[in-house]
Amino acid sequence: MRPLNVGLLGFGTVGKGVFDVLARNGGEIARRAGRPIRITWIGTRTLDRAREATRGAKGVHLTSDTGSVAVHPDVDIVVELIGGIEPARELVMSAIGAGKHVVTANKALLALHGNEIFAAAHARGVMVAFEGAVAGGIPIIKALREGLTANRIEWIAGIINGTSNFILSTMRDTGASFDAVLAEAQKRGYAEADPTFDVEGIDAAHKLTIMAAIAFGVPMRFAAAYHEGITKLTREDIRYAEELGYRIKLLGIARRKSAGYELRVHPTLVPTKRLIANVEGAMNAVLVKGDAVGATLYYGAGAGAEPTASAVIADLVDVTRMHTSDPEHRVPHLAFQPDQISDLPVLPIGEVETSYYLRMRVDDRPGVLADITRILADREISIDAMIQKEPSEGEDQTDIILLTHRSIEKRVVDAIRAIEALPTVRGAIIRIRLEDLA
């Protein structure tokens, strides 16, 4: 049977990984796909790197003109690994317009322009596959789109940014500051020179947007996603969380509610007894709760050349198998049929209901705790646990740490404002959300 020809756009870390894995495991992959899959064109700005990596490979053509690869008549599937928004969006749309199937690992592109891309692909009768866009080598997209299709997905909670997880794990293990650990992460290559997307939760919000769209059958709504990073976390809060039986993780959380769905990324206290709380280093994990199956956990490498290449090639195999099938009989891009996508809204962060960790610096004198608990009670916020630290020798101030039961965020924000106004409370209150994930 004729091989399926692939045009590869971009030859960075993941692009080279795809080429290497296909070259190494080509025979095994062909046995699974039913026909050979071969890269015939590579479009890249780094031609010297590509020449060196493909030396000796037969039938591979190199060019810096990525646009020509996207529409080349001898290419059946276009793999976009350039990243970013432009020219990736233009190239993907050109490939779809030319009747090419597309595989991409570009989470930002899909989170921002997925609705447009999927609509164009559906109209043209081609597939867009994107397993590599979320959680690297973990097959979470296939699990949500196919493996859990019998379920009404209730919620997703994921560690979906390896850089942030490495930083938090190292801060806990070593007691080092955020800035010191970030520098170490950059030295090891886990963090970019500009780490903003990772440490501010933007990268995780891109991935969460994609997973929520598939889980709930809704459009991509990245603009409505709430994201909060880890840059303000301190060693003290990580230590206090441990004392209370929790670990702090940067979680992406999507939860279905009667009035809409939550879409949020932020540091979160998770009980140490939960498996996801024990995911360390740069690894990823996604916890999915379905009404029939219960909670399922997916764990593995969330980035890297060959883990992501594994996901990209799995998409290539899927596209190869379905290449000649009736478009109406393929798995829909967002799991639900296009005319069944829901308009379920994203709830504003003020309407989110969860528990909270509150740390405040207060004067060590009688009546302080009574004032604080009164303010919380007036807003129907109840306390689950509390630590009041002994003041250091010679000091007249101390820390109070409270864990609340579940409450509406806007009530907690209002309570914090009132507590901070007390003359016995010093400085800003630290607030971190808490999820039991039972």
Q: Which of 100, 207, 249, 289 is catalytic?
A: 207
Q: Are 425 and 435 in contact (CB under 8 A)?
A: no
Side-chain-side CA neighbours of 321 within 13 Å: the count stands at 15
For domain 4-137+305-340, which CATH number applies: 3.40.50.970, 3.40.50.720, 3.30.70.890, 3.30.499.10? 3.40.50.720
pLDDT in tens, 166-217: 999 999 999 999 999 999 999 988 888 999 999 999 999 999 999 999 999 9
Q: Which class does domain 140-301 fall in?
A: alpha beta
> Rounded distance, CA 290 to CA 292, Å?
6
DSSP letters spanning 365-397: STTHHHHHHHHHHHTT--EEEEEEPPPPTT-SE
| DSSP code of residue 363 | E
Q: Is 107 a catalytic residue?
A: no
Mapping DSSP to helix (H, G, I), strand (E, B) and coil, where does residue 76 land? coil
Predicted TM-score (pTM) of this structure: 0.95
E strand or H helix that includes residue 264: strand 260-271
State how far the alpha carbon of 114 is from the alpha carbons of 48, 121, 146, 220, 360, in Å.
Answer: 32, 10, 19, 6, 42
Q: Are 226 and 266 in contact (CB under 8 A)?
A: yes
Residue ranges per domain, the chain?
Answer: 4-137+305-340, 140-301, 353-434
Residue in 285, 311, 304 with CA at minimum distance from that of residue 296 = 285
Residue 156: which residues within 8 A CB-CB, separation 6 or more? Answer: 208, 211, 212, 215, 252, 253, 254, 255, 286, 287, 288, 289
**Count of all residues that appear for the chain in the document:** 438
Q: Are 201 and 266 in contact (CB under 8 A)?
A: yes
Q: Are 202 and 231 in contact (CB under 8 A)?
A: no
Residue in 314, 309, 315 with CA at minimum distance from that of residue 18 = 309
The pair of structure tokens assigned to 58 is 């037969």
pLDDT in tens, the chain (438 residues): 789 999 999 999 999 999 999 999 999 999 999 999 999 999 999 999 999 999 989 999 999 999 999 999 999 999 999 999 999 999 999 999 999 999 999 999 999 999 999 999 999 999 999 999 999 999 999 999 999 999 999 999 999 999 999 999 999 999 999 999 999 999 988 888 999 999 999 999 999 999 999 999 999 999 999 999 999 999 999 999 999 999 999 999 999 999 999 999 999 999 999 999 999 999 999 999 999 999 999 999 998 899 999 999 999 999 999 877 777 878 899 989 999 999 999 999 999 999 999 999 999 999 999 999 999 999 999 999 999 888 877 788 999 999 999 999 999 999 999 999 999 999 999 999 999 998
Beta partners for 271?
246
Q: Which fold, 353-434?
A: Alpha-Beta Plaits (3.30.70)
DSSP letters spanning 265-327: EEEEEEETTSGGGG--TTEEEEEEEETTTEEEEEEEE-SSHHHHHHHHHHHHHHHHHHTTS-G
Q: Are 129 and 121 in contact (CB under 8 A)?
A: no
The pair of structure tokens assigned to 111 is 């989170």
The pair of structure tokens assigned to 26 is 């080509």
Q: Are 308 and 132 in contact (CB under 8 A)?
A: yes
